[in-house]
Amino acid sequence: MSNDTIFDEMLGHDQTVRGPYQQFDQWIADEDPKRLRAKQREAEELFRLTGITFNVYGRAEAEERLIPFDIIPRIISGAEWVRLSRGIEQRVRAINAFLHDIYHGQEIIKAGRIPQEMIAKNSAFEPCMIGLTPPGNIYTHIVGIDLVRTGPDQFYVLEDNARTPSGVSYMLENRETMLQMFPELFSKNRVQPVQQYPAQLLRSLQACAPSGLGRKPTVGVLTPGIFNSAYFEHAFLADEMGVELVEGHDLRVVDGRVAMRTTQGYQPIDVLYRRVDDEFLDPLNFNPESQLGVPGIMDVYRAGRITIANAPGTGIADDKAIYSYMPEIVEFYTGERPLLENVPTWRCAEPDSLAYVLDNLEELVVKEVHGSGGYGMLIGPTATKREIAAFRKKLKARPGNYIAQPTLSLSTVPIFARSGLAPRHVDLRPFVLVSPDGVQITPGGLTRVALKKGSLVVNSSQGGGTKDTWVLEA
């Protein structure tokens, strides 16, 4: 990728400052680089004091790490955001309709739009959800849609996160840090707020409670515990919402309801925002070895006496092979053309696609169908011959386990490097709340940035960082 084909969100293709960045550009031109360096160090110290960390698994040094934060905001215009929001809402509504359909009539399969084996042979499909309708008919209460940009008007959906999307605590803490350090910047730019997210999350979850309660619903956050990589976020969100953070051993089924242990004995819980994977949710219905879940919770769920957010079985909607059918899914359930494009995708399970991918590995990105966090993937243009040869063997052995995509020219935004402002590649994860009351999209989301020059991998587990995302008032 030559630099002249990469879209820079601040300078555009012609190196003139774009509209959303004009106020910021005037501000930074007057700033002393020494002050900014001090502010960058101050931000790192704030994150350390707040305890904003994540765990990296599978490494010898797998303790908690500080997530790198960059003080230069990513700025999106109000008009750009309005267009993005329409596409995000359309996609999220289609995903919810798709989940209801595949666990009920399977009309999309009958219509021949998705092959039956894509569902039947998918490990993320949960047969126990067949015929079960969650309270309010909502499957995906919290969704993260990963977007990349390649031009002024060109955004692509990179993947859908419909299981347990994480990162919203970083979005909130990034904003809090920026407000604290650069209040003058916010007075110069009309930035849409994100601080209302925890209150919106609580209201959205309460609106999804089982009907007929006759009282305000009780909400809890279920965490696997302190050793989980996103534990900081679980505790943060429970605290911000003013609800209990619970582990599996704090819950039990009492008189046909899920109840949590309190100082006054066991109290019923109506909505459980679970950050535990399906497999570990209920040892009586899923993995019998699980110590993280609640024995019998699925029986209470089937009886309509608790809301589990997100619903079990939603993982099939963020499977990367299903992703390749999202244009058909959006059209089938909305009757409209997708407003947000997919990245072109080859399904390696199909012989012709596999042959193409094997012939062009040096140019493609290859991902595991159920992979996440930047693990288990090959970025052809930056891979060594040895890595490509090893991946070729994996692909031939289990082609159905992989999809491949072209290497996109991801847009860049400036970071504060030693030499001053320097462009780095980014993606964006907006956060979406879904309830019977409607769809809410927080303006902005989590921008992840590849801090290494030229790198396309933005995941924090692979050396990426985050930055505050500003959506300006329209």
Domains of the chain listed by start with CATH number: 1-123+139-190+427-474 (no CATH), 344-407 (3.30.1490.270)
Give first-to-last CA distance, the chain, whole Å: 33
The residue to which tokens 């698994």 are assigned: 57
**CA 430 to chain CA centroid, nearest Å:** 7
pLDDT tens for the chain, residues 1 to 474: 445 689 999 999 888 999 999 999 999 999 999 999 999 999 988 888 877 655 544 444 445 667 889 999 999 999 999 999 999 999 999 999 999 999 999 999 999 999 998 898 888 999 999 999 999 999 999 999 999 999 999 999 999 999 989 999 999 999 999 999 999 999 889 999 999 999 999 999 999 999 988 899 999 999 999 988 889 999 999 999 999 999 999 999 999 999 999 889 999 999 999 999 999 999 888 887 888 889 999 999 999 999 999 999 999 998 888 999 999 999 999 999 999 999 999 999 999 999 999 999 999 999 888 766 556 789 888 889 999 999 999 999 999 889 999 988 899 999 999 888 999 999 999 999 999 999 999 999 999 999 988 888 787 766 789 999 999 997
Q: What is the gyration radius of the CA atoms in the chain, in angstroms?
A: 23
What local confidence, expressed as pLDDT, does residue 122 receive?
A: 87
| pTM, entire model | 0.92
Q: Are 268 and 257 in contact (CB under 8 A)?
A: yes
Half-sphere exposure of 199 (CA within 13 A, CB side): 4
Two structure tokens written together for 391: 């991946």
What local confidence, expressed as pLDDT, does residue 456 receive?
A: 80
Q: Are strands 257-262 and 251-254 parallel, antiparallel or unpaired?
A: antiparallel
What local confidence, expressed as pLDDT, does residue 58 receive?
A: 45
What local confidence, expressed as pLDDT, does residue 229 receive?
A: 82
Q: Are strands 402-406 and 465-471 parallel, antiparallel or unpaired?
A: unpaired
Alpha-carbon gap, residue 90 to 38, rounded angstroms: 43
